[in-house]
Each structure stands twice: as structure tokens, then as C-alpha cells.
Amino acid sequence: MIVCKFGGTSVADADAIGRLIRLIRARLEDCPIVVVSALAGVTDALLALARVAYRGDPTELGATMDGLVRRHEAACHGLPGTESAMEAITADAATLRQELLAGLGRMLKPAELDAVAGRGELWSSRLIAAAMEGAELPATWIDIRPIMVTDDRFTRATPYVQVVNTRTRECIGPLLEAGRIPVTQGFIGATADGVPTTLGRGGSDFTAALLGAALDAKRVEIWTDVSGLMTADPRVVPSARTLTAASYEEAAELATFGARVLHPATALPLVRAGIPIVVLNASQPDRPGTIIEPEAELERMGDSPVRSISWKPGITVVNVRAPRMLGAFGFLRAMFEVFERHETVVDVLASGEVSVSLTVEDRTRLDAVVRELSELGEVWVEDRRAIVAVVGIGLRNTPGLAARLFQAVQPANVEVISQGASLINMTFVVREEDGPGVVRRLHQEFFGSC
């Protein structure tokens, strides 16, 4: 069997859903499972809806809600068999509106926010399953929430992999054996008590990988709006090229440092069984895309030691200087315990003899983190920064690369330079506004175009 995951733009409207149906029809022999995201922009719109409710204006709430329903109506326009799915969506939208009206003017708790944000996938999957049935494909809609059991870290929940494996095999396995095409939601899950959760933005790729691993899939196909993993984000570097292949590690590093095309955790469940991920363009399905697979099977990608360049804005650098603690054991431990206590993920770390610089993306608990770190030493924070990452397995054995890299980056000021332990990435921090220019200059240096 294979898993086919369709991102927001790949299910954005009736044309896109028609293409999805053709793609699945061409893959019937592979026994596909279909995992879908919300229609493009709907998750953002649902989160905006929560903010509208907080502002307390019922008229605006009604108008935004109606817009969302109309969006789904337009997406199934002309697709036979979707009427009752659309009725179910309209009814659920009315329920959601009542829920939000009941809490008007109040900031939603993370658990409530997840119940709102997850609606997009529930609605899109209903529509698509119905459209597939209407096109005489044997689709069966599945609610993934009782299968995708997670912890209760709402808005960024972690699935319990063993439970997910067992339930996937129990609930989805028999459907495949019966010749059905399961159609389900990415991004969402639920706690063991059944409270809805989400896996974090872009999490549908991760769902697809978890299901693929549980069912020992032949491959996991990620259908999106670009022709694969590229040498840079084509929105920043218009001349970026599609990679033929990449390793799991490279894909994970690129995703962690801003290549939105894949969720950073996607490769994780697939590594042990060596299940390949193929990133493909839903608008141009005949293109080969990028295959992401174990390193051993990789062909070399031309002469460049660099495979791709990514960047991530919205980064804050936290610097800690600890003169009193100089040489003392346990300083790093004490420091990391602060981040751990406040569940704040550190992306990049660079340490000197007396000071440590770390980057964080999530500022929710930053004030408390800084307060506690101040007990360990002098702390200063720099915001509006971006991480730039240069990634490639060729970096492992290419001396002199750092010099070339920093030459190319000039005149931007570079801070917090770090090389991951796997030696396949080089990361550094620049001012946010310098990010795109730096990426373009690096692309020029390593790929000869920008």
C-alpha cells in the first residue's frame, strides 16, 4: 500500500479535487490511503475566526463563518455526490458558530483553539471522500482522531506512536484488505479521553508518515504545489531547482530550518523501515519529484557539496554570559532545565567559554525563561532574527566551505554560527530583513543562479 497526502493547494478547489481523483484512480493497484489537509487557507481562516470571536463582534463572526461555508460550496461545485457532505459541513459550521458565540469576547484556551483549527481537515476530508465516491471510487471516510492518540500539549501535540500503530492496523488495515480507499485527515488527533488536538502547523505530512510507518507502506507521497524539494524556497529564489533525491537527514534539517514543503518530523517514523517519501507536484503529476530515502541509496547530486539552503524568520536569540559560573559544572544543564521547564524548544546553540547563544521560535514563555536565566548570569535578547541553514551530506568532507559561505553572505552581519553534530548542516543567524538576500547570494555561490 501507499499513502498519498494532499496539501491545502492540492485540494483548494473543484479542479484540484478532480486532479486528486484522477491521481488516485491511476494508483488503485498500489492500495492508496488518502490523507488530506484543509482547503488552502482554511486553517488560517479558522484561527482568524477565533480572533474575531475574541474581539466580540457577532456580525463579523457570522460573515467570516459564511465565507468559510461558501468556500467549501465552491470547492465541490460540479462534483457529483457531494451534497450530503456539504450539508454535514454546513451543520457543523452552524455548531461551531454557536460555540464561538457562547464564548464571545473571551480568549480561547489552546484546547478550544485545536477544536476550531481541526475543523478544516474534517470538512475537506468529508468533501473529498464524497467526491471520490461520486466518481465511483470505493472511498471510506475515516475519523483519524480515535486512531491518532496524542498527549495533551494542545496546538503541538505529540502522537503516541505505539498506540497509533496498533489502532491504524486495527482500523485501517481491514479496509485496505476489503479493497476500500480510506480517506482521512492530516494534522488532527485526540487525547486518550477523546479531546481534539492538533500536531502543529503543517502537521499533515507527519500524519501521512505515521500511517505509512504503521502499515509498512511502499512509499509515502506528499502532493504539493511545487515539484519537489528544491535547492531553495522558489518564492525566495525563483531559479531554484528541484532535487532528484535527498536523504532523510537532509530533508529533516531543511524542514527544521524553514523548508515548509515538509513538516520537520515527517522522516522520523519512516527511517527504521527505510520507507521512501516522494514529494510531487499535484498540478504537474508527470514530473518525477524528489525521492527522500536512506543515505546509502542516494545518487550524488552534481558537484555542489550543498544540497539546499533554507531560512526561517521570526527567530529570537537568547544570549547568556555567566562570569560567576565560569568553569562551574552544571551550568549548561541548569540553563537547559529552564528551557525544558517552560517547554521552549531551542533550535540552534553556539557556545563560547563564557557565553552561550541559543535561538528560539516560540516566545510564549520567553519572559519567564529570561527571568530564570538571569539567575545564572547576564542575559540579553535579540529579536527579529532569521536562521539560515546550508544543508548537504557533501558538507561532511568539504574543507574550506565555511570561508566560501561567509564570503558569499557579506555584507550581512552573521551571528550564532553552528554546525550540527551530523556535520550535514551549517546554520547561522542574520537580521530578519537580511534573510532573503543572504539566501539568494548563497544560491548564487553554490548553484550559480539566484
Which positions lie near ligand ADP, rule CB under 6 A? 7-10, 37, 202, 224-226, 229-230, 232-235, 254, 259-261, 308, 310
Contact yes or no for 311/388 (Cβ under 8 A):
yes
19: left (phi over 0), alpha (psi -120 to 50) or beta: alpha
Nearer to ligand ADP, 428 or 447 (CB): 447
Give the C-alpha separation, 117 to 188, whole Å: 9
Would you give the binding string for ligand ASP spanning residues 20-39, x where CB under 6 A is met?
A: -----------------xx-
Q: How far is the CB of 369 from ligand ASP (least distance, A)?
A: 26
C-alpha cell at 282: 499535484
> Are the C-beta atoms of 370 and 379 separated by less than 8 Å?
yes
Residue 357 binding: pick among ligand ADP, ligand ASP, Mg ion, none (C-beta 5-8 Å cut-off by kind): none
Residue among 173 and 200 whose Cβ is closer to ligand ASP:
200
Q: Are 301 and 307 in contact (CB under 8 A)?
A: yes
- Of the pair 46, 405, the CB lying nearest ligand ASP is at 46
266 binds ligand ASP (CB under 6 A): no
Beta carbon nearer to ligand ADP, 292 or 350: 292
Query: 226 contacts which partner out of Mg ion, ligand ASP, ligand ADP, none, CB within 5 to 8 A by kind?
Result: ligand ADP
Per rule CB under 5 A, is residue 120 in the interface with Mg ion?
A: no
Phi-psi region of 328 (alpha: psi -120 to 50; beta: other; left: phi over 0): beta
Candidate residues 159, 202, 269, 276; the one interacting with Mg ion per rule CB under 5 A: 202
| C-alpha to C-alpha distances, 89 to 32, 62, 66, 70, 279, nearest whole angstrom | 25, 15, 12, 11, 30
Q: Which of 196, 203, 377, 435 binds ligand ASP (CB under 6 A)?
A: 203
Among 204, 227, 231, 256, the residue binding ligand ASP under the rule CB under 6 A is: 204
Closest separation between CB of residue 16 and Mg ion, Å? 15
Q: How far from 284 is each of 225, 243, 403, 405, 435, CA to CA, in Å?
A: 9, 16, 39, 34, 30
The 10 Å CB-count burial string (b at 16+, else e) for 428-442 is: bbbbbebbbebbbbb
What backbone phi and psi angles, to 5 degrees, belong to 412? Answer: -65, 145
- Binding status of residue 187 toward ligand ASP by CB under 6 A: yes
Instruction: Please tell me whether residue 43 binds ligand ASP under the rule CB under 6 A.
Output: yes
- Point out which residues bind ligand ASP (CB under 6 A): 7-8, 37-38, 43, 120, 186-187, 201-204
